[in-house]
Amino acid sequence: MVTDSEINEVFYQCFVEATQGQTPAISIGGVVCNKDREETIGEDIVVITTNVVGDEFPQNALVNINAYTFDVPESGNGLVRNGQRLSQLAKAIAKYLDGLSFPNMELVIENIAEVEEKSINQHYKNFRVRLFIYDNFS
Protein backbone atom coordinates (compact mmCIF):
# COMPACT_ATOMS: atom_id res chain seq x y z
CA MET A 1 0.00 0.00 0.00
CA VAL A 2 1.23 3.49 -0.88
CA THR A 3 0.57 6.27 1.65
CA ASP A 4 -0.05 9.98 1.15
CA SER A 5 3.34 10.69 2.76
CA GLU A 6 5.11 8.48 0.23
CA ILE A 7 3.32 10.17 -2.67
CA ASN A 8 4.18 13.61 -1.28
CA GLU A 9 7.85 12.65 -0.96
CA VAL A 10 8.06 11.25 -4.50
CA PHE A 11 6.50 14.36 -6.05
CA TYR A 12 8.48 16.66 -3.78
CA GLN A 13 11.74 15.05 -4.94
CA CYS A 14 10.63 15.20 -8.59
CA PHE A 15 9.91 18.91 -8.36
CA VAL A 16 13.10 19.65 -6.42
CA GLU A 17 15.07 18.00 -9.24
CA ALA A 18 13.05 19.85 -11.87
CA THR A 19 13.82 23.23 -10.29
CA GLN A 20 17.58 22.84 -9.86
CA GLY A 21 20.64 22.77 -12.08
CA GLN A 22 21.99 24.92 -14.90
CA THR A 23 18.83 24.68 -17.02
CA PRO A 24 15.92 23.71 -14.75
CA ALA A 25 12.74 22.32 -16.30
CA ILE A 26 10.80 24.70 -14.05
CA SER A 27 12.27 28.00 -12.92
CA ILE A 28 10.77 28.86 -9.53
CA GLY A 29 11.96 29.79 -6.04
CA GLY A 30 11.36 26.52 -4.23
CA VAL A 31 9.26 23.46 -3.49
CA VAL A 32 7.16 22.82 -0.37
CA CYS A 33 5.63 19.49 0.56
CA ASN A 34 2.43 19.20 2.57
CA LYS A 35 3.31 22.08 4.90
CA ASP A 36 1.42 25.06 6.13
CA ARG A 37 2.29 27.41 3.28
CA GLU A 38 2.21 30.46 5.54
CA GLU A 39 5.75 29.52 6.58
CA THR A 40 7.08 29.95 3.04
CA ILE A 41 5.18 32.71 1.28
CA GLY A 42 7.14 33.10 -1.94
CA GLU A 43 7.06 31.98 -5.54
CA ASP A 44 7.01 28.25 -5.10
CA ILE A 45 5.42 24.89 -5.85
CA VAL A 46 3.37 23.21 -3.12
CA VAL A 47 2.64 19.46 -3.27
CA ILE A 48 -0.28 18.11 -1.24
CA THR A 49 -1.77 14.63 -1.55
CA THR A 50 -5.36 15.04 -0.44
CA ASN A 51 -6.83 11.59 -0.83
CA VAL A 52 -5.55 8.02 -1.16
CA VAL A 53 -8.28 5.42 -1.68
CA GLY A 54 -7.75 1.74 -1.03
CA ASP A 55 -5.92 -0.37 1.54
CA GLU A 56 -4.71 -2.75 -1.16
CA PHE A 57 -3.66 -2.37 -4.77
CA PRO A 58 -4.92 -0.95 -7.00
CA GLN A 59 -5.16 2.42 -5.31
CA ASN A 60 -6.39 5.79 -6.46
CA ALA A 61 -4.94 9.09 -5.20
CA LEU A 62 -5.51 12.79 -5.73
CA VAL A 63 -2.56 15.18 -5.64
CA ASN A 64 -2.80 18.97 -5.72
CA ILE A 65 0.21 20.74 -7.17
CA ASN A 66 0.01 24.49 -6.69
CA ALA A 67 2.39 26.94 -8.37
CA TYR A 68 2.30 30.32 -6.63
CA THR A 69 3.49 33.64 -8.01
CA PHE A 70 3.32 37.21 -6.76
CA ASP A 71 0.84 39.73 -8.09
CA VAL A 72 2.40 42.71 -9.88
CA PRO A 73 1.81 46.45 -9.55
CA GLU A 74 -0.67 48.09 -11.89
CA SER A 75 -0.38 51.82 -12.48
CA GLY A 76 -2.33 53.50 -9.70
CA ASN A 77 -4.59 50.53 -9.00
CA GLY A 78 -2.64 48.38 -6.56
CA LEU A 79 -1.72 44.84 -7.54
CA VAL A 80 -3.03 42.51 -10.26
CA ARG A 81 -2.37 38.92 -11.23
CA ASN A 82 0.82 38.22 -13.12
CA GLY A 83 -0.83 36.45 -16.04
CA GLN A 84 2.36 36.08 -18.04
CA ARG A 85 4.20 34.35 -15.18
CA LEU A 86 1.20 32.16 -14.32
CA SER A 87 0.98 31.05 -17.94
CA GLN A 88 4.72 30.36 -18.08
CA LEU A 89 4.57 28.25 -14.91
CA ALA A 90 1.46 26.37 -16.04
CA LYS A 91 3.08 25.40 -19.35
CA ALA A 92 6.34 24.30 -17.70
CA ILE A 93 4.59 22.23 -15.03
CA ALA A 94 2.14 20.63 -17.47
CA LYS A 95 5.02 19.68 -19.76
CA TYR A 96 6.98 18.29 -16.83
CA LEU A 97 4.04 16.27 -15.51
CA ASP A 98 3.33 14.88 -18.99
CA GLY A 99 6.92 13.62 -19.10
CA LEU A 100 6.88 11.91 -15.70
CA SER A 101 6.79 8.15 -15.73
CA PHE A 102 6.61 5.79 -12.78
CA PRO A 103 6.56 2.02 -12.81
CA ASN A 104 3.20 0.67 -11.66
CA MET A 105 1.39 4.00 -11.78
CA GLU A 106 -0.58 6.12 -14.23
CA LEU A 107 -0.82 9.90 -13.86
CA VAL A 108 -3.64 12.01 -15.32
CA ILE A 109 -3.97 15.80 -15.06
CA GLU A 110 -7.69 16.16 -14.34
CA ASN A 111 -7.87 19.91 -14.09
CA ILE A 112 -5.82 23.11 -14.12
CA ALA A 113 -7.42 26.05 -12.35
CA GLU A 114 -6.32 29.49 -11.24
CA VAL A 115 -6.92 30.66 -7.68
CA GLU A 116 -6.48 34.08 -6.10
CA GLU A 117 -4.93 34.50 -2.65
CA LYS A 118 -5.85 38.13 -1.88
CA SER A 119 -4.50 38.06 1.67
CA ILE A 120 -0.95 37.50 0.42
CA ASN A 121 -1.16 39.25 -2.97
CA GLN A 122 -0.61 36.08 -4.96
CA HIS A 123 -2.34 33.87 -7.49
CA TYR A 124 -1.59 30.24 -8.14
CA LYS A 125 -2.21 27.57 -10.72
CA ASN A 126 -3.69 24.42 -9.20
CA PHE A 127 -3.04 21.14 -10.97
CA ARG A 128 -5.39 18.38 -9.82
CA VAL A 129 -3.56 15.17 -10.64
CA ARG A 130 -5.17 11.73 -10.37
CA LEU A 131 -2.92 8.73 -9.74
CA PHE A 132 -3.82 5.14 -10.48
CA ILE A 133 -1.41 3.02 -8.43
CA TYR A 134 -1.02 -0.68 -9.21
CA ASP A 135 1.93 -1.52 -6.95
CA ASN A 136 4.65 0.25 -4.95
CA PHE A 137 6.38 2.88 -7.07
CA SER A 138 8.75 4.72 -4.74
Tens of pLDDT, residues 74-89: 888 789 999 999 999 9
Which strands make up the sheet holding 44-53, listed edge to edge?
Answer: 30-33, 44-53, 59-70, 122-133, 105-117
Residues contacting residue 54 through CB under 8 Å, at least 6 positions apart: 1, 60
Tens of pLDDT, residues 115-131: 999 888 999 999 999 99
Tens of pLDDT, residues 50-61: 899 998 999 999
Return the half-sphere exposure (C-beta side, CA atoms, 13 A cut-off) of residue 138. 14
Q: Are strands 105-117 and 122-133 parallel, antiparallel or unpaired?
A: antiparallel
Q: Please give the model's pTM, rounded to 2 decimal places.
A: 0.91
Tens of pLDDT, residues 23-48: 999 998 888 876 655 666 688 999 99
Instruction: Kindly state the average pLDDT of the residues 88-101.
Output: 96
Strands (E), 8-104: 30-33, 44-53, 59-70, 72-74, 78-80
